[in-house]
Amino acid sequence: MNSMSEDKKQILELVKEYYNHHHKDTDEYSEGDRIAYAGRVYDEEEMINLVDSALDFWLTSGRYCAQFEKDFSKYLGVKYCLLTNSGSSSNLIAFMTLTSPLLKERQIKRGDEIITVAAGFPTTISPILQYGAIPVFVDVTIPTYNIDVSQLEAAVSEKTKAVMIAHTLGNPFDLEKVKAFCDKYNLWLIEDNCDALGSTYYLNGEEKLTGTIGDIGTSSFYPPHHMTMGEGGAVYTNNALLYKIALSFRDWGRDCICPSGHDNFCGHRYDGQYGLLPKGYDHKYVYSHFGYNLKATEMQASIGVAQLKKLNEFTKQRRENFEYLKDNLKDLESHLILPEATVNSNPSWFGFLITVKEGVDRNELVQFIESNNIQTRMLFAGNMIKHPCFDQLREQQSGYRVVGDLRNTDHIMENTFWIGVSPKMNKQKLDFMSKIIHNYFNKRL
């Protein structure tokens, strides 16, 4: 055993050397080098953890997964956290949790309505449609790019059961008004926090992390996000029943709560009565929901354990980069609408949103920026219901409902894009991005 420990120690020391020789970021930048909107930021600790987990060769969830769930719960200040294989899976679990019969009269059933927005990413609404519930699309506001809370009352009906929306590019939606609306009508609130980890919101005089104010929050750990595992995500809540249901949906839909590699964790493996099964049927193979296998692996979690230690610094850098870029572009406000933080919030920005004003061609500006080796992105779907996946639903005029005309959503689809503010940025990169945008307008004037 001691020999094995010494061998591992030696291997991990070599991993550290390997990182320093082959992976360490020198932060060197020459004007004209490609500027990605985001990317992984890591050091030797992530690589050491990754190799450590590989040497254990426990390929499913294990000690690193348990450690991450414990550490992430502590960071968020919530009671329960489940690690998943992606942010999309987290959204699926969060929504499906609310369809459980265990929730009785608050269970979401097929045909029930869920208030959301069309200006965002598809995996916020895919679970709603795939289950057979009805998304109700509400417009957003500019320049916060979040749900227009003045339209919530027009969106509610006797079929409404929940609100499921994302904090757009790190900017929190108006949690005070959305939460009050949900409380008024006894609605569930799912916070899609995949683009906003580290953002905070002041509610009732207290600063809280986004994702922890609603009934369920979700995160994504895809490489461009605020921290990464390569692939990975999380679902979190303070509600013990929702946690129990979410765990079931994540782990095949089973009733059993045994961790991977453990049997009879509850001590009642063979003495229960479930459904129409014979009494004493092996509890490890009793299914209370139609679930999935959406667990993460030890290798993913090992990276996350190291990344989480850096998250506060990542958040600080994102905020500083955002403010620096905004200051540098303020003189272009006659041509551009610059982003604004939601009142009572302190965003951990995922990106820097820009909407062009009348007379400016968004596509021309984007292509000019891209031609100078700067990566840009649209605000994801722009207007989700305009995409090919909605063709049949649109033709049949069924499966979803729209409140108003989604005017701002369409405006974003036609006139908005964003550039990066990730911790991979430095002042040279931010200055160059600002310079190129200024050059575009200098050539036009």
What are the domain boundaries of the chain? 51-300, 311-443
Query: Coil, helix or strand for 247?
Result: helix
Instruction: Give yes or no on whether 51-300 and 311-443 have one common fold.
Output: no
Q: What is the pTM of this model?
A: 0.96
First to last CA, the chain: 73
With 0-12 / 13-18 / 19 or more C-beta atoms within 10 angstroms meaning exposed / middle / buried, residue 249 is buried
pLDDT, position 1:
53
In a structure prediction context, what are the per-residue pLDDT tens digits for the chain, which is 445 residues long?
Answer: 577 789 999 999 999 999 999 998 777 888 889 999 999 999 999 999 999 999 999 989 999 999 999 999 999 999 999 999 999 999 999 999 999 999 999 999 999 999 999 999 999 999 999 999 999 999 999 999 999 999 999 999 999 999 999 999 999 999 999 999 999 999 999 999 999 999 999 999 999 999 999 999 999 999 999 999 999 999 999 999 999 999 999 999 999 888 777 788 878 899 999 999 999 999 999 999 999 999 999 999 999 999 999 999 999 999 999 999 999 999 999 999 999 999 999 999 999 999 999 999 999 999 999 999 999 999 999 999 999 999 999 988 889 999 999 999 999 999 999 999 999 999 999 999 999 999 999 988 6
The DSSP 8-state label assigned to residue 35 in this structure reads B
Q: Two tokens at 328?
A: 């540098």
Query: What is the phi/psi pair of residue 90, to 5°?
Result: -65, -45
Distance CA 251, CA 295 (A): 7
Q: Two tokens at 126?
A: 């895919």
- 269, 284 in Cβ contact below 8 A? yes
CATH class for the domain made up of 51-300: alpha beta
Query: Coil, helix or strand for 135?
Result: strand
- 142, 166 in Cβ contact below 8 A? no
Tell me the catalytic residues. 225
How far is residue 410 from each of residues 25, 335, 362, 386, measured CA to CA in Å?
40, 19, 13, 9
pLDDT, position 4:
75
Q: Two tokens at 172?
A: 């929190």
- Those residues whose C-beta lies under 8 Å from the C-beta of residue 156, and which sit 6 or more positions away, are 115, 181, 185
Indicate left, alpha or beta for 9 from its phi (over 0: left) and psi (-120 to 50: alpha): alpha
DSSP string, 353-374: EEEEPTT--HHHHHHHHHHTTB
The DSSP 8-state label assigned to residue 79 in this structure reads S
Closest by alpha carbon to 121, among 420, 396, 389, 419? Answer: 389
Closest by alpha carbon to 155, among 138, 169, 143, 170? Answer: 138
The DSSP 8-state label assigned to residue 254 in this structure reads B
pLDDT, position 25:
79
- Those residues whose C-beta lies under 8 Å from the C-beta of residue 134, and which sit 6 or more positions away, are 111, 112, 113, 114, 128, 159, 399, 400, 401
Helix pair angle (44-56, 298-308), 10° resolution? 150
> Position 103: which residue type?
L
β-bridge partners, 201:
208, 345
Closest by alpha carbon to 191, among 129, 238, 155? Answer: 238
Closest by alpha carbon to 253, among 288, 294, 296, 295? Answer: 288
Query: Coil, helix or strand for 2?
Result: helix
Distance CA 147, CA 293 (A): 32
- Those residues whose C-beta lies under 8 Å from the C-beta of residue 234, and which sit 6 or more positions away, are 69, 72, 81, 82, 83, 84, 90, 218, 219, 221
> Position 439: which residue type?
N
Per CATH, the number for 311-443 is 3.90.1150.10
Query: Coil, helix or strand for 153?
Result: helix
How far is residue 30 from each of residues 41, 214, 421, 427, 435, measured CA to CA in Å?
19, 44, 18, 12, 14
- 178, 152 in Cβ contact below 8 A? yes
DSSP string, 318-343: HHHHHHHHHHHHGGGTTTEEPP-PPT
> Position 346: which residue type?
N
Query: What is the phi/psi pair of residue 354, to 5°?
Result: -135, 130
Distance CA 297, CA 24 (A): 25
Closest by alpha carbon to 419, among 433, 398, 435? Answer: 433
- Those residues whose C-beta lies under 8 Å from the C-beta of residue 230, and which sit 6 or more positions away, are 221, 222, 223, 300, 303
pLDDT, position 263:
85
